Chain A
């Protein structure tokens, strides 16, 4: 809910700058590591879209991103299944950088 309130704050300041009075759609990218559950986000959005900033029935699209890491030793780029296993499957190295999965981003919004 706090995340969605943050979303509303961002949109409430951005929409007037683009002369948009009613938002019809918002697209988010949500990484697996953030623990932001898409269903919970959708529920929170369904409550918050009742306010005048949003058109009736405004839509929320969520693109989910899996966790990916890159090994600092051998450079391998690998997916981390179910948030586990931050060890490089190539060389067994553990100095890895998370390169995907921490996103919590508003990609765009649409409206009139």
Chain B
């Protein structure tokens, strides 16, 4: 006997992501899904972003990691509410993992909840977490080929942060090539060139993010 299903393999994830999205809308929380490959500098960028915003917005963080709590400890040192999800080997967060940690936060007193996804440019792009926005971090030390090799990630993203621009002189990274590739994959994608380490370019990104969060709250 043949049973027709026509069911999306990730259907269950989509349902839970929808629940999260509705809950965030109801509470007026901007949920940011931050993604990159390992080593792009997500956690440092997050630390600097949180430091710049913590007097202006009520913040919290969900840290996704395959096994360790190192990143969550770094965020907790800033005095920001953080919950760690260990994926036990899985290469991405899924909506159920996010939903399960939400009770750890006081959702009535939050403006911005940032999810630091597991370092990986493939699977995280596939799993809707119910986020308001996806931001991908690319670093100059990773080389120019990432955009074309992982097009879905760069197509899905709502903004691109090019990190480690202080290291440009020591790499073979070309900004023109990045612009060309983005033009093919995701024309018009907001892009911020910055260095989380030196602080260069951070102000533009912070101002933009703040505007997104405030725009979301006014909706």
A binding-site residues for B, Cβ under 8 Å:
2-3, 6-7, 9-10, 14-15, 18, 20, 28, 33-35, 83-87, 94, 98, 103-112
Q: B2 contacts A110, CB within 8 Å?
A: yes
How far, in whole Å, are A110 and B2 apart by their CA atoms in the complex? 4
B binding-site residues for A, Cβ under 8 Å:
1-12, 90-92, 122-123, 125-126, 148, 150-152, 155, 183-188
Q: B148 contacts A84, CB within 8 Å?
A: yes
Q: A10 contacts B185, CB within 8 Å?
A: no
Q: B9 contacts A86, CB within 8 Å?
A: no
Main DSSP-derived SS at the B contact region:
mixed
Q: B126 contacts A34, CB within 8 Å?
A: yes
Q: B6 contacts A85, CB within 8 Å?
A: no
Q: B9 contacts A3, CB within 8 Å?
A: yes
How far is the CB of A64 from the nearest CB of chain B, in Å?
15
How far, in whole Å, are A106 and B183 apart by their CA atoms in the complex? 34
Q: Which A residues touch B150, using CB under 8 A? A: 35
How far, in whole Å, are A88 and B126 apart by their CA atoms in the complex? 24
Q: Chain A CB within 10 Å — which of B1, B92, B122, B155 has the most?
A: B1
Q: B3 contacts A86, CB within 8 Å?
A: no
Q: Which B residues touch A6, using CB under 8 A? A: 9-10, 12
Q: A10 contacts B1, CB within 8 Å?
A: no
Q: B9 contacts A7, CB within 8 Å?
A: yes
Known: A14-B5, A109-B5. 17 other contacts (CB 8 A): A2-B91, A2-B123, A6-B12, A10-B5, A28-B9, A35-B125, A84-B184, A86-B185, A86-B186, A94-B183, A103-B8, A104-B8, A106-B6, A107-B4, A108-B6, A110-B1, A110-B3
* 10 pairs of residues in contact across A and B, judged by CB atoms under 8 Å: A3-B10, A7-B9, A20-B3, A35-B150, A86-B185, A86-B186, A105-B9, A108-B4, A108-B6, A111-B1
Q: Which A residues touch B3, using CB under 8 A? A: 14-15, 18, 20, 108-111
How far is the CB of A7 from the nearest CB of chain B, in Å?
6
How far is the CB of A90 from the nearest CB of chain B, in Å?
16
How far, in whole Å, are A109 and B1 apart by their CA atoms in the complex? 8
Q: Which A residues touch B2, using CB under 8 A? A: 108-110
